[in-house]
């Protein structure tokens, strides 16, 4: 069994998959032979470690570089040849479905254009699986695939550990939570929904291997852990919904518990994006949860009225135009909220801790990173769940 796990976690299996899909590492001797080189954003250097009073000191940086696939001299820019551009762009797009740009646009879009109930279910499960996945990464501390032989196409999370793949966890949880929850809300053919769920989750899982960010074992474990969490929580979804929407202590717990989990997130011996990303997720959930509770108290949830399940909306030109308008206005509202609250919270925290505003690296400190990210994304969640649909109503877009 140990040999099988070692094989599945090995970088050669990832490199072999990349070669089969047309992504080939180019040897240094062939760099000038007209092959396609990695663009500037594919620089595979690890995140620069923060120096000074406000930064985490790291005496094991060389060891971590070796763990994450970099040599003793650091990570050089990978040179690669793309032989199948269709698969290349398909996997890059699929991988992007696990990044913040997807969560801040597509999940709220379900709230604005389809059913807030479904968005609430997705946000609840997404938060649970992502917190479990991020915690497991920093507890298990298993490295990402080595480069070479693997080609790494992303750099932001290169300092993170690998197992489990949170992309695989989120894709599995979102796809199948939507499938299970939509049955009672929307009329659709279950077999078609199942095919779409399997396809989307599989593409995201495979994309993490193609981009060189995870081993096969990372992806398998991520999908399995997510499936287990969905399976064991599914019988309690209705009970949690009722508590979340009606209990007087729901908004208090929705703010206090995520903030506590953010501050008590495990400390590493080096700066890593996992704590900040986890705080972002918990903050977004806190804002949405409070917002859903407020909507119920105000008696306006914007959920479909009448007998359920309702038919899927007809795709007319007018409906598409209105949906596009809601999407654009909603994204502007969320991104604007994000930028404004982020700037204000950083200004307050920098003043409180007497840190020069020019010290960009200070935001990596827990005392600053946690409150500014939590405040920012709690505000985003509140705007999404309370304000945006009311603006649509005033503008005649509902």
* Tokens at 299, concatenated: 């008696």
Choose the catalytic residue: 41, 111, 214, 236: 214
- For 366, other C-beta atoms within 10 Å of its C-beta total 15
* Tokens at 246, concatenated: 């009606």
* Alpha-carbon gap, residue 345 to 191, rounded angstroms: 47
- DSSP, collapsed to helix, strand or coil, labels residue 186 as strand
* Alpha-carbon gap, residue 268 to 67, rounded angstroms: 15
* Tokens at 64, concatenated: 């971590």
* DSSP letters for 127-174: HHHHHHHHHHHHHH-PPPPPTTTSPP---TTTTS--SS-HHHHHHHHH
* Alpha-carbon gap, residue 87 to 343, rounded angstroms: 39
Choose the catalytic residue: 30, 167, 270, 318: 167
242 is known as an active-site residue: no
Kindly give, in sequence order, each residue whose CB lies less than 8 Å from that of residue 150, ignoring residues fewer than 6 positions away.
11, 14, 15, 18, 25, 69, 212
* Tokens at 31, concatenated: 């760099």
Beta partners for residue 82, in sequence order: 23
* Alpha-carbon gap, residue 70 to 76, rounded angstroms: 8
Residue 148, preceding peptide bond in cis (omega within 30° of 0): yes
214 is known as an active-site residue: yes
Kindly give, in sequence order, each residue whose CB lies less than 8 Å from that of residue 18, ignoring residues fewer than 6 positions away.
24, 25, 150, 151, 209, 210, 212
* Tokens at 171, concatenated: 């894709």
E-strand stretches of the chain: 23-25, 80-82
For the purposes of burial, counting CB atoms within 10 Å of the CB of 167, is it exposed (0-12), middle (13-18) or buried (19 or more)? buried
Residues annotated as part of the active site: 167, 214
């Amino acid at each position: 069994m140990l040999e099988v796990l070692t094989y599945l976690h090995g970088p050669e299996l990832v490199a072999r998959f990349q070669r089969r899909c047309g992504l080939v590492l180019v040897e240094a001797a062939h760099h000038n032979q007209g092959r396609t080189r990695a663009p500037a954003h594919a620089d595979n250097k690890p995140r620069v470690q923060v120096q000074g009073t406000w930064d985490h000191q790291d005496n094991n940086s060389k060891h971590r570089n070796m763990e994450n696939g970099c040599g003793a001299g650091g990570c050089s820019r990978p040179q690669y040849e793309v032989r199948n551009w269709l698969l290349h762009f398909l996997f890059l797009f699929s991988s992007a479905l696990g990044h913040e740009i997807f969560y801040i646009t597509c999940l709220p879009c379900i709230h604005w254009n389809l059913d807030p109930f479904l968005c609430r279910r997705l946000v609840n499960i997404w938060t649970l699986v992502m917190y479990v996945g991020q915690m497991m990464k920093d507890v298990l501390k298993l490295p990402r695939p080595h480069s070479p032989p693997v080609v790494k196409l992303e750099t932001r999370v290169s300092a993170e550990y690998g197992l489990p793949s949170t992309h695989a966890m989120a894709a599995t949880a979102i796809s199948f939570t939507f499938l299970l929850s939509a049955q009672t809300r929307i009329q659709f053919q279950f077999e078609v929904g199942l095919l779409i769920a399997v396809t989307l989750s599989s593409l995201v899982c495979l994309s993490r291997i193609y981009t060189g960010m995870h081993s096969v074992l990372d992806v398998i474990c991520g999908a399995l852990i997510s499936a287990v969490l969905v399976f064991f929580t599914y019988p309690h979804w209705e009970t949690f919904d009722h508590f979340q929407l009606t209990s007087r202590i729901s908004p208090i717990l929705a703010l206090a518990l995520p903030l506590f989990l953010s501050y008590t997130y495990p400390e590493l011996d080096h700066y890593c994006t996992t704590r900040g990303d986890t705080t972002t997720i918990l903050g977004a959930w806190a804002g949405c949860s409070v917002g859903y509770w407020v909507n119920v108290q105000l008696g306006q949830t914007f959920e479909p009225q009448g007998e359920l399940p309702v038919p899927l909306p007809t795709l007319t030109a007018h409906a598409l135009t209105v949906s596009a308008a809601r999407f654009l206005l909603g994204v502007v509202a969320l991104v604007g909220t994000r930028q404004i609250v982020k700037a204000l919270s950083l200004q307050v925290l920098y003043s409180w801790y007497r840190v020069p505003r020019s010290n960009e690296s200070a935001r990596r400190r827990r005392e600053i990173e946690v409150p500014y990210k939590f405040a920012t994304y709690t505000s985003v969640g509140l705007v999404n769940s309370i304000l945006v649909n009311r603006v649509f109503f005033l503008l005649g877009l509902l």
